[in-house]
């Protein structure tokens, strides 16, 4: 999300006479786009700001702006830091050009918006085009998971006008991109209607909305995520389509059928479970049970055989017992996730959990449980990768592999990183790769003829 937001900022600035540079030492202005999701993320930013403060001592003309979630959360506290000249929250980037050039503009803009989606801003993705791009389709979140700070720092959920999404993706395709990842905190609640229907989606009609609500060629207005996904996939069979993140309470079969009906929608779903214990899920305000989650997994397996599933897990949430933790491990075994992102609980100020529950699982217990979750996931990821050995996958070539210049890396539709000798393939091409071996993190293979 921050990569995507930084591309919006880069466009706003490059349209106003600023130029992006490659090396920190060459910059006259540095922006740091921040994340508040866990305390560690914030600590790293504070460390970076201390470094910038030292750089400013030697070079007083250097300027520094803090963008993103920490800007919303810490405001004046950040402005008081010796490194910081501007503090700009995620919905205020349009103010940036005016702020940079002016000594009278306020140095801080952090108000959250009910409507800002930057729909009309074409993200700046660098001079040399890439292969895979992020496309933000919605902003904010209305879910209020008890541990999560996102709704407070990124604001209410709002969906971006589908016409601008499709236009942006068409541009990407003609610019040489071959893959898009549609981004939202909870893509399954994507919902957009023309003005007349806005209320039915829970939107307040926006008096200032100047969006061009044309009727698309086929007369259908895409209002749901499944419809948007189908329209994006229909742009071209040359384009691979991914998306993230799904919420188990909102992921309906219509999305799974849309995926099944389009070979160019990658067969991978990121479906964060957070915990396997119903007690924890209730306390986390996730609004599904373990049984309901498993039913969604069964639907994926039924409608999309071969689809990989990844997840997020949190260890040591408030009052988590050994039995709750064991339930997380058993759910992982039951689902056999292909990949996972795993964290120990980090209390965030003002969240539901911080206000209502004690952060009472000792740090060493949180970490020990997290290590157990990681060890199990390593086994599951390795088993998932081993099951692919001998199979042939279509891989989009993304660039040179880190291990050797004679090797490329890319990802399978199932979202597994795959490395293979270049042969005569090129970046941006789709190649067929037979998997010959693997680690828990990577598939290794060789290019084969499509019919081999």
Q: Rounded to an integer, what is the distance from CA 59 to the centroid of its chain?
A: 35
248 binds, among ligand SF4, ligand 5AD, none (CB under 5 to 8 A by kind): none
The tokens of 296 are what? 């969604």
> Binding ligand 5AD by CB under 6 A: which of 73, 348, 411, 444?
348
Exposed/middle/buried for residue 44 (C-beta within 10 Å: 0-12, 13-18, 19+): middle
Q: What is the DSSP letter of 434?
A: E
Site string for ligand 5AD, 33-72 (x = CB under 6 A): ----xx----------------------------------
Number of residues binding to ligand SF4, judged by CB under 6 A: 10
Q: Give the binding range for ligand SF4 (CB under 6 A) out of 145-153, 337-345, 430-438, 440-448.
A: 145-153
Whose Cβ is closer to ligand 5AD: residue 191's or residue 314's?
314
Q: Is 273 in the site for ligand SF4 (CB under 6 A)?
A: no
In the block, residue with structure tokens 């003309």: 61
| Contact by Cβ (8 Å): 241, 267 | no
Concatenate the DSSP letters of all residues of 222-235 into one string. Answer: --BHHHHHHHHHTT
> Binding ligand 5AD by CB under 6 A: which of 279, 346, 378, 430?
346
Q: How far apart are CA 393 and CA 373, in angstroms?
A: 29
> Binding ligand SF4 by CB under 6 A: which of 139, 247, 296, 411?
247
In the block, residue with structure tokens 């039913």: 295
Instruction: Considering only residues 279 through 338, tell me which ones interact with ligand 5AD, judged by CB under 6 A.
Output: 312, 314
Q: How far apart are CA 285 and CA 146, in angstroms?
A: 6
Instruction: Considering only residues 146 through 165, tell me which ones interact with ligand SF4, judged by CB under 6 A.
Output: 148, 150-151
Instruction: Considering only residues 421 through 440, tell me which ones interact with ligand SF4, judged by CB under 6 A.
Output: none
Instruction: Considering only residues 166 through 195, tell me which ones interact with ligand SF4, judged by CB under 6 A.
Output: 185-186
Q: What is the DSSP letter of 205?
A: P
Q: How far apart are CA 213 and CA 162, in angstroms?
A: 10
Least Å from the CB of residue 315 to ligand SF4: 15
Q: How far apart are CA 362 and CA 326, in angstroms?
A: 17
| Contact by Cβ (8 Å): 417, 386 | no
> Binding ligand 5AD by CB under 6 A: which of 345, 393, 408, 409?
345
What residues make contact with ligand SF4 under the rule CB under 6 A? 141, 143-145, 148, 150-151, 185-186, 247
What residues make contact with ligand 5AD under the rule CB under 6 A? 37-38, 147-148, 272, 274, 312, 314, 343, 345-346, 348
């Amino acid at each position: 999300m921050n990569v995507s937001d930084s591309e919006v900022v880069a466009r706003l600035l490059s349209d106003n006479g600023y130029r992006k540079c490659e090396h920190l030492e060459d910059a006259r202005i540095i922006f740091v786009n921040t994340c508040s999701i866990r305390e560690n993320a914030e600590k790293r930013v504070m460390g970076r700001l201390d470094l910038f403060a030292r750089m400013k001592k030697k070079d007083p003309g250097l300027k520094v702006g803090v963008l993103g979630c920490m800007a919303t959360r810490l405001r004046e506290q950040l402005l008081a830091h010796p490194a910081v000249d501007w503090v700009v929250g995620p919905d205020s980037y349009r103010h940036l050009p005016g702020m940079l050039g002016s000594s009278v503009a306020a140095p801080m803009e952090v108000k959250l918006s009910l409507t800002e989606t930057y729909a009309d801003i074409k993200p700046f993705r660098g001079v040399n085009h890439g292969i895979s791009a992020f496309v933000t389709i919605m902003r904010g979140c209305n879910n209020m998971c008890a541990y999560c700070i996102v709704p407070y720092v990124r604001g209410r959920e709002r969906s971006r006008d589908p016409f601008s999404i499709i236009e942006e993706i068409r541009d990407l395709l003609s610019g040489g991109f071959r893959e898009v990842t549609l981004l939202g905190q909870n893509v399954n609640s994507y919902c957009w209607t023309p003005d007349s229907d806005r209320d039915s989606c829970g939107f307040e009609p926006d008096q200032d909305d100047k969006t061009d609500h044309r009727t698309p060629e086929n007369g259908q207005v895409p209002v749901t995520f499944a419809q948007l996904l189908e329209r994006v996939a229909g742009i071209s069979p040359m384009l691979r389509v991914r998306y993230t993140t799904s919420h188990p309470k909102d992921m309906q079969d219509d999305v799974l059928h849309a995926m099944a009906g389009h070979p160019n929608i990658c067969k991978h779903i990121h479906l964060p479970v957070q915990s396997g214990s119903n007690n924890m899920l209730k306390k986390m305000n996730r609004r599904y049970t373990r049984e309901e989650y498993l039913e969604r997994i069964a639907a994926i397996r039924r409608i999309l055989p071969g689809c990989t599933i990844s997840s997020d897990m949190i260890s040591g949430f408030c009052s988590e017992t050994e039995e709750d933790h064991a339930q997380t491990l058993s759910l992982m075994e039951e689902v056999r996730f292909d990949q996972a992102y795993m964290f120990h609980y980090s209390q965030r100020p003002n969240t539901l959990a911080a206000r209502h529950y004690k952060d009472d699982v000792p740090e060493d217990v949180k970490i020990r449980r997290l290590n157990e979750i990681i060890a199990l996931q390593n086994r599951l990821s390795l088993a998932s990768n081993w099951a692919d050995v001998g199979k042939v996958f279509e891989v989009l070539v993304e660039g040179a592999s880190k291990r050797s210049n004679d090797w490329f890396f890319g990802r399978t539709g199932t979202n597994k990183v795959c490395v293979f000798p270049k042969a005569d393939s090129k970046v941006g091409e789709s190649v067929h790769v037979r998997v010959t071996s693997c680690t828990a993190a990577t598939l290794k293979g060789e290019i084969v003829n499509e019919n081999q």
